[in-house]
Chain A
Amino acid sequence: MKIKLWGVRGSIPTTGPDTECYGGNTSCVTVSHNDYVLVLDGGTGIRQLTGNYYPENKRVDILLTHLHLDHIQGLGFFSPLFDESKEIHIWGPASSSQSLFSRLSRYLSPPLFPVLLRDLPCKLQLHEIGNSDFETGPFRIQSNYIIHPGPTVGYRVTGKQAVFTFIPDHEPSLGNKGMIKEKKWVSGFDLAREADLLLHDAQFTQQEYQLRKGWGHSSIDDACLFASLAEVKKILLSHHDPSHTDAFLDDMFASFKKNAGSMPPAILAKEGLEIDMS
């Protein structure tokens, strides 16, 4: 089981010399086992995957956490969608009022995009999920709604050798007193419990978070507290704020580590990073 990060930036693509190290593409990660590849989120990072996707794979599964633009913006530039020989399965959170097709079509339609979702040449199948369990290829997937504005899920991907949890946008500390430190009262806990690797939202410093409560994101402190409560083995801190340069991220992480207590090993998510979980 291999994890590759294609986009780890939050909110908006942020390319330039100041973000060269950690990357400027928005959310996209692949989980692969042999030649089977699962795509998590369709942010701008997915465009880089286009040329790297296994051309012989007829079926492609794309699991969307939610439909904010930074998680779907790259979909229209993912070449298998324009290949009539491909069977594309897009999994995304159900809403109580509109279908996944209708919500995705808001972006994949004029004037925002020239091609209509319904006109894509591939064989497209949409799957609405919520608190769900399903299997695709060699992976068992659990999805649960989590705290973030609008219908949003996180994913727990169980492979043959390891468990990877993907929660790129999440605010488990939303509330008067922050995160409730009882496991059954923590949003996303079941997804992350004892995972081998957790990719989690860590967009803000603790000071920034105080001014952005309710925006749906976490501070680096809360991300690590969440990882600690869930007893994950390692955490990737992701969804970097667009205003955070490489130098800022390094300083922010160093400063956090200096004051942090006991917590699971943590690293800053970096575009292009590959992790072999075999």
Chain B
Amino acid sequence: MAAYEIEIILNRQLADCLSIPVFITDTLGNLIFYNEPAEKVLGKRFEETGEMPVEEWSTIFNPLDEDGKPLSPGELPLVKTLRDEFPYHKSFKIESLKGEWQNISVTSYPIISREGKFLGAVAIFWKIKQHEN
């Protein structure tokens, strides 16, 4: 397999320096990297899982909107970014691995190369503190 473009590699290197959960996908939504803070969200270590097909990792969350209704995949920022190649942001709830519900915000952005080519997407999870609710 050919090496990833440097825009993808640099996004991974940046994610590796951050204390907030970051997920990087290819253009199809396959998870090609997640950093250590994201490992806590997924409950899996990247070193153990390696890359994950979209079908595998997308079922881990049970996202609900602010009214507690299930969110369809098409409403999730990362899915929208993969579809439209635009950045998106949304706040919603997910069920943690311990079965607790957490309010989070997700910001996603497309990785568009210097040549204008769509290479993948990044999703950053922000845990909303209680006083912000």
Contact = CB atoms under 8 A, between A and B. Distances in A.
Interface residues of A, number: 23
B80 interface: no
B12 A147 contact: no
Interface in B1-39: 1-6, 9-10, 12-14, 16-17
Given A131-B115, A190-B3, A177 B16 contact: yes
Interface stretch (A14-22, A57-65, A119-127, A178-186): A178-186
Interface of B: 1-6, 9-10, 12-14, 16-17, 113-116
B28 to A, nearest CB: 16
A96 interface: yes
A147 B115 contact: no
Contacts, number: 51
B18 to A, nearest CB: 9
Interface of A: 94-96, 130-131, 144-147, 151, 174-177, 180, 183-190
A21 B12 CA distance: 41
B6 A187 contact: yes
B48 to A, nearest CB: 14
Given A147-B9, A147-B10, A176-B17, A184 B4 contact: yes
> Which secondary structure characterizes the binding site on chain A?
loop
A72 B78 CA distance: 42
13 contacts: A94-B115, A145-B114, A146-B6, A175-B12, A175-B13, A175-B17, A176-B13, A180-B12, A184-B1, A185-B3, A187-B6, A187-B9, A189-B3
A189 B4 CA distance: 9
Contact of A184 (B3, B10, B114): B3
B16 A176 contact: yes
A185 B115 contact: no
Contacts of B113: 145
